[in-house]
Amino acid sequence: MSKIHPSAVVEDGARLGADVSIGAFSYVGPDVVLGDGVVLKNHASVASNVTIGDGTTVSPFASIGGTPQSVHHKGEPGSIVIGKNCVIRENVTINFGLVGERRETRIGDRCFLMTGVHVAHDCTLGNDVILANCATMGGHVTIGNNVFMGGLCALHQFVRIGDNAIVGGLCPVWHDVIPFGALREGLEGLGGLNIIGMKRRGFSRPAIHALRAAYRDLFFTEGRFAERVERVAERYGDDENVMHIVSFIRERGKRRITMPHAVSGADVVEE
């Protein structure tokens, strides 16, 4: 049975699943869909065309469904889809999509958005993404699965972050980060591989060693970068993890690939 505080506003047309909880002074718009067990704490706002999956919790003063912060927005409608069992903490802002037929911003399952995070229009987040306090992204950012973004990091619009990557706190992210890549605060460019993240997710030692070798071949051998990519693809064609990096590079987004911060020294982040 749903619990709705008397001071909350739930517009006609909103669809609420079973056992939804809506706290004091919260707002739910007419085109909102809340899945089973969704919790909106006090002073949460879910406006516009928003779908929130089962078991997700939205904390006070979060604003979901705001208009895109773009001079190009002329009042067109858009949508937001948020997956299951996410945690959206205080003062998070998520804007609906602006571009394309769907005009959609999408967040996957089991994501954790800490205080003050901003997800701009047309962003796409995979599953199990953690955005630490005040992580901020411009429009059209794509973040893969199992990614950690540190506090106060900022992502340029159209940046892609590959699966299993990590971005340290305070990092500006101007260009695409390969799957398994690591950016560290205080360093310019790619700081190696997310070794700790891979170990925590149960990657085997041979799998990690293969990725380390492929990383060296990709960034620290002779020849043009495009040539090195093809050599790595030929050498590690049977390795699914390495080929995931190759495919990411071949897809060629609007931003270039972030390169290592130096051409010598340690090629992995292990501490």
| Residues acting as catalytic residues | 121-122, 139
| Vertex 255: Cα angle to 203 and 82 (nearest 5) | 60
CB atoms inside a 10 Å sphere around CB 11: 12
d(CA 38, CA 20): 5
Q: At what angle do helices 240-251 and 205-219 cross, to 10 degrees?
A: 40
User: 156's torsion region: left (phi>0), alpha (psi -120 to 50) or beta?
Assistant: beta
- Select from 103, 53, 108, 112 the least CA-distant residue to 78: 103
Q: Which residues of 208-229 are buried (b: 16+ CB within 10 A; e: fewer)?
A: bebbbbbbebbbeeeeeeeebb
Q: At what angle do helices 240-251 and 225-235 cross, to 10 degrees?
A: 150
- φ and ψ at residue 49, rounded to 5 degrees: -95, 90
* One-letter amino acid for residue 233 of the chain: A
- φ and ψ at residue 248, rounded to 5 degrees: -60, -45
Check if the beta carbon of residue 107 is closer than 8 Å to that of residue 125.
Answer: yes
Chain centroid offset of residue 250 CA: 21
d(CA 42, CA 200): 35
